[in-house]
Structure 1
């Protein structure tokens, strides 16, 4: 959904309805909303009152949606801090975050040599090892027979990936990177490309970025270090497209120590997200929801 001020789109948000038991639900906006003033402010910028008005306008549209959905609450997990306090608009800090609270970002404006130099020595070694093992990397931009191969390694139901591949636009694409060894697929990465770097003034753009969404690998031939080469080839592909950043999409020393160590080996900068915030529509059921969630 979006909010317009005159003829200009000033804010956009992906709204997902999450079903709960007994017919209840909540609305969810991952890594958003996104505002025009975050990416392409007009000459002179927006003042605080203008930004607040835009956010209020977006919330009114959310409430219109909820008039039909009858959700318990609306959860947001912003990409970055807003220039105002969400508590001033009725939001409370959520007890539950859905998206990872931290990630690792690579700056793709750097040269390949600079990116390699900033990696851990073990990561560089494993990339070279995979190349010496003659790992072949292929790329698929559409839903085809290669998706079946990925599904054999998948973490989510088949329908999830089919819907993901079906969702595409000029500013959004999902692509599959496969690693083959001796003619057999042993690892796969699913990447999402956001934005057209040539159109950085568009509200839904942030200069073009690649996001590592999912990965999977076979238990066979782990010694080939295929996932390292998969990432490196994906990073180079994103750089060649003009993307400005490569997002490893989530780290946590506590929850995923091994995966976090793997991702941090590629260098980059660690980024912390603001967290999750809830706008409560039904206070009693929100209280019940939080109690039940802690029990189960």
Structure 2
């Protein structure tokens, strides 16, 4: 199947299963395997050579009809064979399945176990862009709507581009943001690989003061029926000016105009976890309305129990250290 046929069959698909994402990983030196499983499902798989061990990663996949248990069993049998051929200790998946006892049972019945670390955004806000613009505004939290309107009154402008200069600028500002907020940003090599792979489907938005001073940055990736607010950065001006509000609202309007059906705000904290690394942005993102979505957590298919145990121990300790 080509990517258009995959999206038509599996509309929940996003950029992490797209050929563009595969190309990006190949640019960075990782092996990418794409399989259609005799039209029973689709998976873009990445062989990861981490210091702790080699494993097969399937982010936001595999894509298949989970109601067909026999087909799912056949898909995972093939995935297991591929992992063994690639000498992987385990396979890590995070399907596009909403979290429920029934869906988690689907995974455990296939022999998978809950992973010690997350894969892709398991908790997010999904905005329905098929709604009229007035409805999108009305769905926002009152304070969010106020900040969007205040940005307009203050003359805050939102620009967008995807040339190399803006990616380098974004990297510099994000590195400064990371120091203030305590997270690890992607390096410039990764950002430029994303730019090369996604082409016109990736863009950097910048909110600026009326005088042209940058306030907030946002990277939007578009693929399938979805736009994703994948990376962000800000200057100290964002503490007092509603630049990020103006940026997201403009991105929402642009994606709607371009025909995308949903906007994934990509990562919020789980309920009741105030120390989670996304806790600081959760109030901001949920203020834009939309549906809070919780996907099934990442699960692992163990190939080598001995090698997997070492990885499991390492990742469990790292998760505690990073408040994930």
**1:295, distance to aligned residue in structure 2 (A):** 4.0
Partner of 2:122: 101
- Quick check: 1:227 aligned with 2:244? yes
Partner of 1:2: 35
Bigger drift between 239-248 and 53-62 goes to: 53-62
Match of 1:179 among 204, 207, 210: 207
Partner of 2:12: none
- Quick check: 1:111 aligned with 2:111? no
Match of 2:108 among 79, 87, 109: 87
- Quick check: 1:162 aligned with 2:184? no
**1:217, distance to aligned residue in structure 2 (A):** 0.5
Structure 1 residues 84 and 291 mapped into 2: Cα distance closer, same or farther (>3 Å)? closer
Q: State the distance in 2 between where 1:257 and 1:66 align.
A: 35
Structure 1 residues 219 and 266 mapped into 2: Cα distance closer, same or farther (>3 Å)? same
**1:275, distance to aligned residue in structure 2 (A):** 1.1
Partner of 2:171: 151
Partner of 2:6: none
Structure 1 residues 117 and 145 mapped into 2: Cα distance closer, same or farther (>3 Å)? same
Bigger drift between 143-152 and 115-124 goes to: 143-152
Structure 1 residues 54 and 174 mapped into 2: Cα distance closer, same or farther (>3 Å)? farther
Write 1 or 2 for the structure with the bigger share of helix: 2
Aligned length: 265
Q: Which structure 2 residues correspond to residues 177-256 of structure 1 after superposition, within 5 A?
A: 177-181=205-209, 182-195=211-224, 208-220=225-237, 222-252=239-269, 253=271, 254=273, 255=276, 256=278
Partner of 2:55: 26
- Quick check: 1:279 aligned with 2:301? yes
Partner of 1:261: 283
**1:221, distance to aligned residue in structure 2 (A):** 5.2
Q: RMSD over aligned Cα, in angstroms?
A: 2.3
Structure 1 residues 11 and 166 mapped into 2: Cα distance closer, same or farther (>3 Å)? farther
SS in structure 2 at match of 1:213: strand
- Alpha-carbon contact 2:207-2:214 (below 8 Å) kept: yes
Q: State the distance in 1 between where 2:116 and 2:170 align.
A: 34
Q: State the distance in 1 between where 2:252 and 2:317 align.
A: 42
SS in structure 1 at match of 2:36: strand
**1:240, distance to aligned residue in structure 2 (A):** 0.7
Structure 1 residues 4 and 288 mapped into 2: Cα distance closer, same or farther (>3 Å)? closer
* TM-score (norm: length of structure 2): 0.75
SS in structure 1 at match of 2:173: coil
**1:213, distance to aligned residue in structure 2 (A):** 0.5
**1:183, distance to aligned residue in structure 2 (A):** 2.2
- Alpha-carbon contact 2:117-2:316 (below 8 Å) kept: no
* TM-score (norm: length of structure 1): 0.81
Q: State the distance in 1 between where 2:193 and 2:76 align.
A: 27
**Structure 1: runs of 5+ lacking an equivalent:** 39-47, 196-207
Q: Deviation string for 1:192-236 (max 9, x for gaps)?
A: 1122xxxxxxxxxxxx11111111111135322100000000000
Partner of 2:149: 128
SS in structure 2 at match of 1:271: strand
